[in-house]
A and B are shown apart, each in its own frame.
Chain A
Amino acid sequence: MNCDKIRQSLADYAVDNLRGTSAQEIREHLLTCADCAAELRALNAAVGLVEDVGLREPPVGLWNGLYNRITERSQAQESKLPWFRLGLRLRIAAAVAAAAVVLVAALLSQVKAPSPASFANAAAAEYLEGHAMSSRNTLFADRFSLASVAALAEEEQRTNE
């Protein structure tokens, strides 16, 4: 094995990433090559420095700063895009908004205005009362609720006279 190939593998050898014959070959070479042995000593010193410093937390905002710089670059690139790609997002947003307007309009058109049938009416109350009173003797009739309806209907009639 020549020194070029040995030096390519020296970094892995320095952190014990090599096993078996590859490591053996490098060991045997280092015994006979002073240059490669010096290279290994320098690598070990660098690893040692890193270990001495220890783990440090990155400064706050480091990643956000990186992200912002990346996105600035991509926006700058987009500003250089042709007009038919520049407005794509805007056109999609406009289309979605238009579809939403159409959908809402369609839904609203199905909602009918409150029918006059929902307004109170003294005549209806008269018949509601008569109906409630005549329903009392039906099997399992809720006669308590029917009395309530009859009284409310009668009250409505008297109020609307």
Chain B
Amino acid sequence: MSDSRSSRIPYTIGLIAIAGLAAVWLFTRVLPGPSRASKIIIKAANADATQSYIADVNTETWYRNKLVKVTSKVYHLPKGERTEYYRGHLAGVVVVDDESHTYTWKTGSSSVETTETPTLSRQQRPALLLRNYSPSLHGQDYVGGRLCHIIELTPKKRGPFKRLWIDKSTYIALRIEDLDAMGRLTSSSAFSNVKYVGSLPASLLRPPTKAKARSEPSNLSSLSKRLGFRARTPRYVPAGYVLLGCRLNKCACECGHESAQLVYTNGVDTISVFQAARPQNCGMSGKCGLHNMNPGGVCLAGGDNRIGVAVARRGTKSVVVVGALGMNELMRIARSTP
């Protein structure tokens, strides 16, 4: 009896091992895992932190129902990027992005402006994107002489789309198309003459002089003290959007007008919720120049038909919401801000 039991042990172990291998195979092959498109997106999300390249970029943007074209030369380093615009309405403008700020100046000018640009960590960004968007692969095509995957990012809930052409070798996005929730193209940027280089000088990311801050990172408490009213977060924010940060936003016309800006993102799209005191200096003093005031104090301050601007009067302040989700959604956010 004991002999027969001991002779069965190797068979039992073998069967368990086979069952275990089969389970692993089942888990990795049959059960849903990250799609190929998702894997490409994850690689592309971190590609720009390891590459240096120079390229020309042709950009088309719909603004106020007009198509605006600009051309630029981009110098990309792992730590940041310098863009020199040489054609279009931005000709002569230089923009430098590092990981937390954007510096803008005109060639030959000594005035440099800086804007704080909030961001998530490198790990958080693709995770949030994949939580809210479904990437799908749509074949391949050449951009700037480089063979690219074509990936479409479709929102899981209604919202703007994005199409990306991602270099198959380097995973750099060489063409980006933004489409609104209705599927209309809002902007497109395509690289040409792409040259990947070993390194570029860090001096490219240095602005020529000390920059004047157009916005500063802040928090709700500091903003409330500075602006003289209580800056609050909206009660309603569309599903999938997280608060990226708070900033003090200053008007470009240097009238002294300031507003609190809360920036929300879902990984791809952003919404800005501005709060400013009434009356204000930049035409928002209760009369925004429009004739169609809805009851309840919500008026539509317009904007491009793709990026909307919705305004609500909330006690002693005005709430302005900017985004590409459609006016109904923006108004809902504005009205929900206490």
16 contacts between A and B (CB under 8 A): A117-B290, A119-B290, A121-B302, A124-B320, A130-B259, A130-B274, A133-B115, A135-B270, A139-B45, A140-B164, A144-B70, A145-B188, A147-B85, A148-B61, A152-B64, A161-B253
**Chain A 96-124, CB within 8 Å of chain B: the 1/0 string?**
00000000000000000001111111111
| Chain B residues within an 8 Å CB radius of A160 | 283
* Given known A-B contacts A145-B189, A148-B63, A121 and B289 have beta carbons under 8 A apart: yes
* Given known A-B contacts A122-B283, A127-B320, A148-B90, A134 and B70 have beta carbons under 8 A apart: no
Cβ of B335 < 8 Å from any Cβ of A?
no
Interface residues of B in 256-302 (CB under 8 A from A): 257, 259, 261, 263, 265, 267-270, 272, 274, 280, 282-284, 288-292, 299-302
A147 touches B83 (CB 8 A): yes
Chain B, interface size: which category? 35 or more
Please report whether the interface of chain B is mostly helix, strand, loop or mixed according to DSSP: strand
Per the CB 8 Å criterion, the residue count for chain A at the interface is: 39
B309 touches A147 (CB 8 A): no
| Chain A residues within an 8 Å CB radius of B85 | 147
Of B2-10, B17-25, B118-126, the one contacting chain A is B118-126
Cβ of A7 < 8 Å from any Cβ of B?
no
Please report whether the interface of chain A is mostly helix, strand, loop or mixed according to DSSP: helix
Cβ of A131 < 8 Å from any Cβ of B?
yes
| Chain A residues within an 8 Å CB radius of B65 | 118
Interface residues of A in 120-161 (CB under 8 A from B): 120-124, 126-131, 133-140, 142-145, 147-149, 151-152, 154-155, 157-158, 160-161
The complex places the Cα of A100 from the Cα of B309 at a distance, in Å, of: 38
A116 touches B302 (CB 8 A): yes
A134 touches B164 (CB 8 A): no
Partner pick for B117 among A117, A128, A134, A152, CB 8 A cutoff:
A134
8 A-B pairs with the lowest CB-CB distances in the bound complex, closest first: A117-B300, A145-B187, A137-B119, A116-B290, A131-B322, A131-B272, A144-B59, A117-B302
